[in-house]
Amino acid sequence: MSKEKIVLAYSGGLDTSVIIPWLKENYDAEVIAVCGDVGQGKETEGLEEKALKTGASKLYIADLTEEFITDAIYPCIKANAVYEGKYLLGTSMARPIIAKKLVEIAKKEGATAICHGATGKGNDQVRFELTIKALAPELKIIAPWRLDTWGMQSREDEMAYLEAHGIPFEASHDNSYSRDRNIWHLSHEGLELEDPANEPNYKHLLQLGVSPEDAPDVPEYITLDFEAGIPVAVNGEKLGPVEMLKKLNEIGGKNGIGIADICENRVVGMKSRGVYETPGGTILYYAHRELEYLCTDKKTQAFNEVASNKFTELVYSGEWYTPLREALSDYFDKVNETVTGTVKLKLYKGNIIPAGSTSPYSLYNESMASFTTGELYNHKDADGFINLFGLPLKVRAMMMANNENK
Give me the active site residues, please.
15, 95, 124, 178
190 vs 271: CA distance, rounded Å: 13
Give the pairing of strands 5-9 and 30-37.
parallel
Angle between helix 241-254 and 279-295 (nearest 10):
100
Burial 203-240 (b: 16+ CB within 10 A, else e): eebbebbbeeeebeeeeeebbbbbeebbbbebeeeebe
Q: How far apart are CA 142 and CA 282, in angstroms?
A: 36
CB 266 within 8 A of CB 272: yes
H-type alpha helices, 215-297:
241-254, 279-295
Task: Tell me if 67 sits within 8 A of 38, measured CB to CB.
Answer: no
Rounded to whole angstroms, the Cα distance separating 40 from 250 reads: 15
Q: Residue type at 173?
A: H
* DSSP 8-state secondary structure symbol assigned to residue 87: B
Using alpha carbons only, how large is the chain's radius of gyration in Å? 26
Assess contact for 300 and 338: CB atoms under 8 A.
Answer: no
Q: By three-state DSSP, how is residue 357 classified? A: strand
Nearest to 56 by CA among 94, 11, 98, 99: 11
Cα–Cα distances in angstroms (integers) from residue 54 to residues 19, 31, 45, 105, 150, in the given order: 9, 10, 16, 20, 17
Closest by alpha carbon to 123, among 344, 374, 314? 314
**Quick one: which of 36, 41, 89 has its CA closest to 62?**
36
- Backbone torsion region of residue 274, taken as left when φ is above 0, otherwise alpha when ψ lies between -120 and 50, otherwise beta: beta
Question: Among 328, 231, 279, which Cα is nearest to 90's?
Answer: 279
Residue 177 region by backbone torsions, left for phi larger than 0, else alpha for psi between -120 and 50, else beta: beta
